[in-house]
Amino acid sequence: AIFTAMASILEKGDEVIYPNPGFPTYETVAGFFGCVLKPVPLLEENSFSFNMKIFRKLFSKRTKMIILNSPSNPTGGVMPQKDLLEIAEAVKNSDCWVMTDEMYSSTLYDNLKYPSFYAFKKIHDKTILVDGFSKTFSMTGWRIGYLSVPERIIDKIDYLLTHLVGCTATFTQYAVLEGLNGPQDSIHKMVREFEKRRNFIVSEMNKIKGVRCQNPQGAFYIFPNIKSFAKSSKWLADYILEKAGVALLDGTSFGKFGEGYLRISYATSMENIAEGIRKMKKALVLL
């Protein structure tokens, strides 16, 4: 869905604004089409939301697409409504598109009501919604994504999907139907369980000497600050894998502004999380 949306709009030389650290596909695909990359840093001091000061500087008549992802992979940060509104106002009178990747919209904590960019119906003629079912219905092995686009680009999307995908496997479509038509309380239960895990992992990570970890409001990732170890994120991620047997990602896998951070997924049992933290603590204390 992301590739198709970007391929239907972008051409060589177009400017693309996107979050960094962010889901790597945005930067890779924009680079593949020869676009001018305009990353907006997601900074810890800004609760890992889009830095609006930098956005204001980067946004211009040359901007062809703004990519938003809230809640964010890898930081779990959620963009506040006022920032979304400012972006909607900025694009209203421009030729710029917004692709809003709302993959984690169902995974929100602290009773937060979801601030969706797709709620701005007045600019639907230049907004593309990207979403999918692999997170909400926990079917990552049977992943199936979708887009909602304005009519004026339907033909291009249809053309691209026909030749890229052909057709989506029928059994995964039936699985999604079951998910959509079935009781929704299991999603609520899953998210409450994620919230308990988030509370636990954030509090335990903050007990590790040298680690500082924010409390993200969405998705199922934490993005702890590990700058005090004076090692690159990549080095530390490899060290933790080899020494502790815990697989996690370095922040730079999500772009250059991810340096100094690790991304840890807590989409696993409470027992596994506790064991992983115990092993990480043992390895980190040796540094």
- Beta carbons within 10 angstroms of residue 80's beta carbon: 15
> CB-hemisphere CA count at 13 Å for 141?
1
| Residue 253 contacts residue 22 (beta carbons within 8 Å) | no
φ/ψ of residue 98, rounded to 5: -120, 130
- What's the CA gap between 123 and 207, in Å, rounded? 45
Number of residues engaging ligand PLP in binding (CB under 6 A): 10
Does residue 19 have a cis peptide bond before it, meaning omega lies within 30 degrees of 0?
Answer: no
Q: How far is the CB of 285 from ligand PLP (least distance, A)?
A: 32
Piece of the chain touching ligand PLP by CB under 6 A; list 106-114, 137-145, 192-200, 259-267: 137-145
Bridge partners for 68 per DSSP:
100
Shortest reach from residue 143's CB to ligand PLP, in Å: 4
Examine residue 199 and tell whether it contacts ligand PLP (CB under 6 A): no
Q: Looking at 19, 132, 251, 255, which residue binds ligand PLP (CB under 6 A)?
A: 132
Which residue, 211 or 266, has its beta carbon nearer to ligand PLP? 266
Task: Give yes or no for residue 140 binding ligand PLP (CB under 6 A).
Answer: yes
Which of positions 57-116 make contact with ligand PLP (CB under 6 A)? 69, 73, 101, 103
For ligand PLP, the closer CB: 140 or 184: 140
The 10 Å Cβ neighbour count of residue 64 is 20
- Provide the 8-state DSSP code for 113: P
Q: Which is nearer to ligand PLP, 20 or 73 (CB)?
A: 73
- Residues engaged in binding ligand PLP (CB under 6 A): 23, 69, 73, 101, 103, 132, 134, 140, 143, 145
